Amino acid sequence: MNLTRRQTEIYRYLVDNAGHFDRPPTYDELCEALGLASRGSLHKHIQALVHAGLVEPMDGSHRGIRLVEQEEPVQESAEAGVPYLGTIAAGRPIEAIPQADYLQVPAELTGSKPCYVLKVSGDSMIEEGILDGDYVVIEQRDSARNGEIVVALLNGEEVTLKRIEQTPAEVILHPANIAMMPVAYPHDAVQIQGVLRGLLRSYR
């Protein structure tokens, strides 16, 4: 995700002044600080930063603009941790987080193959017991057997977690939610990025 000049400028300002705010700044406060007259203009830039995973999304709430936590590299990571890459929401690209975090995942889930962890957003697999906010452990693979749950890249742009069925003619992706229908794609529109190996959920 490439930022424009103004976007990086604004992000810089946020980072530089992060410790300087006693509370998360509102759009109006930022507008004044940045010499903007219109919240609407600022909003577009902030949205770009949210999309780039640099600013926390605030779904309608009024709590000011916050940077996404840039946790310093966890040193335990070398110790057989599994990288946490971001959020997977049906219908959108993976929202990568800037610096990979590492999770201590039991070897029983990962096996010996390379894996990564994604956070699930949405309810499309709810009937398989995969809920909004769960973390899935994905084994890096570019092929899958029928019936496996896969991370699939569709048309090179959006990514989704679904149960896969491959026929000679097409690839069918089955959600596990009565409200959603299976969708069929031509083979060349679906690129498998990994296979579901494990699941983590926090009730904290």
Residue numbers annotated as active site: 124, 162
Q: What type of residue sits at position 177?
A: N
Contact 88, 120 (CB under 8 A): yes
Which residues, listed in sequence order, are joined to residue 71 by a DSSP beta bridge? none
Q: Which two tokens stand for residue 46?
A: 């902030």
- Pick between residue 65 and residue 199 the one whose CB is nearest to DNA: 65
Residue 16, CA distances (Å) to 6, 20, 21, 28, 200 in order: 15, 8, 10, 18, 35
Which range touches its own copies (CB under 8 A), out of 30-38, 41-49, 62-70, 161-169?
62-70
How many Å separate Cα 81 from the centre of its chain?
A: 19
Q: Which residues contact 85 (CB under 8 A, 6 or more apart)?
A: 94, 96, 97, 100, 116, 117, 118
- Asked if residue 37 binds DNA (CB under 7 A), the reply is yes
- Asked if residue 56 binds its own copies (CB under 8 A), the reply is yes
Contact 16, 9 (CB under 8 A): no
Among 52, 88, 97, 105, binds its own copies (CB under 8 A): 105
- Asked if residue 63 binds DNA (CB under 7 A), the reply is yes
- Asked if residue 62 binds DNA (CB under 7 A), the reply is yes
Among 16, 22, 59, 108, binds DNA (CB under 7 A): 59
- Asked if residue 28 binds DNA (CB under 7 A), the reply is yes
- Asked if residue 44 binds its own copies (CB under 8 A), the reply is no
Q: Provide the sign of the torsion angle of the four alpha carbons 102, 106, 111, 117, taken in this order.
A: negative
Q: How far is the CB of 7 from DNA (least distance, A)?
A: 5
Measured distance CA(143)–CA(150) in Å, rounded: 9
Which residues of the chain form contacts with DNA (CB under 7 A)? 4-7, 26-28, 31, 36-41, 43-47, 57-65
Which residues of the chain form contacts with its own copies (CB under 8 A)? 2-5, 8-9, 23-24, 53, 56, 58, 61-64, 66, 76, 78, 81, 103-109, 111, 126, 129-131, 134, 148-149, 196-204
